[in-house]
Amino acid sequence: MATMNISLPDPMRDFVQDRIENGQYASISDYVRDLIRRDQNTIAHEERWLRDLDASIDESLQEMKNGGGHDLDEVFETLVTDIQKANGNANR
């Protein structure tokens, strides 16, 4: 196992030491390893999310090429008309 030395400001060192003394971590190394694991998991989650987003965009673009989807201007006009009708009915 490799060794790394880090420097921390006193308040950060005290925070880590409190976590160890409260039994949340066995050592400073245990604390740092946990932080690294969490960071690795966050990065992996973000990468999965981006892959899923890319796939969704690709799927939507393909659907539009095949004639699917809706014209945004038409959808907006329909929504505005529906809202105006609803407001007109509410005022009666």
Question: Of 11-20, 34-43, 69-78, 81-90, where does mean pLDDT reach its minimum?
Answer: 81-90
Closest CA to 12 of 31, 26, 30: 31
In contact, 25 and 31? CB cutoff 8 Å: yes
Q: Is the pLDDT of residue 92 over 60?
A: no
What mean pLDDT is reported for the chain? 93
Q: What is the pLDDT of residue 70?
A: 86
Mean pLDDT, range 19-33, rounded to an integer? 97
Q: Is residue 19 very low, low, confident or very high in pLDDT (cuts 50, 70, 90)? A: very high
What integer pLDDT is reported at residue 83 of this predicted model?
A: 96
